[in-house]
Amino acid sequence: MGHVNLTVPNQGVAVDREKREIYIPFLKLTLNCNFRNDFEKVNQVELDEQYVHASVSVPEKPRIEPKVWLDMDRDAREGSTDTPKGATLRTTETPEPPKLKRGEYVRLWHRLVCRLNMLRIKGKL
């Protein structure tokens, strides 16, 4: 028979957040926590020969509601031909999409994506 893990449910686990320790009373075992301390609760602890695996519940970050959205149609067609002529690009501030030629929309799209990434990095988006 192979190795079997010992699973301890959350009722058999005590947590000391200040000392960052998990205590299992019936085994008289104290474990140091080397992970995030912002978890809500310990779900269970599994013990094997070398390692201890702790399953914890971590609070979810609040969802971000977008204030501005960007819509781009790269396959904008003019008239009845099936050949793409350019692109349309609009946001919530610009309801009328400007018509762009193929080279213009690639450059504009790249610039907008870079600007959005910089705002996201700075935490403003």
Of the two residues 101 and 49, the one the predictor is more confident about is 49
Q: What is the mean pLDDT of residues 8-14?
A: 92
Q: Is 98 left (phi over 0), alpha (psi -120 to 50) or beta?
A: beta
What is the band of 44 on the pLDDT scale with cuts at 50, 70, 90?
Answer: very high
- For the cut 60, the answer to whether the pLDDT of residue 13 exceeds it is yes
pLDDT of residue 80: 40
Q: Are 47 and 55 in contact (CB under 8 A)?
A: no
Average pLDDT estimate for 60-76 = 73
- Residue 31, pLDDT > 70, answer yes
Mean pLDDT of the chain: 77
Contact in structure between 6 and 26 (CB atoms under 8 Å): no
DSSP H/E element including 122: helix 102-122
Residue 14: the pLDDT is 92
Rounded CA-CA distance 9/25 in Å is 12
Average pLDDT estimate for 54-80: 73
DSSP label at 61?
Answer: P
pLDDT more than 90, % of the chain: 17
Looking up tokens 């020969």 gives: 49
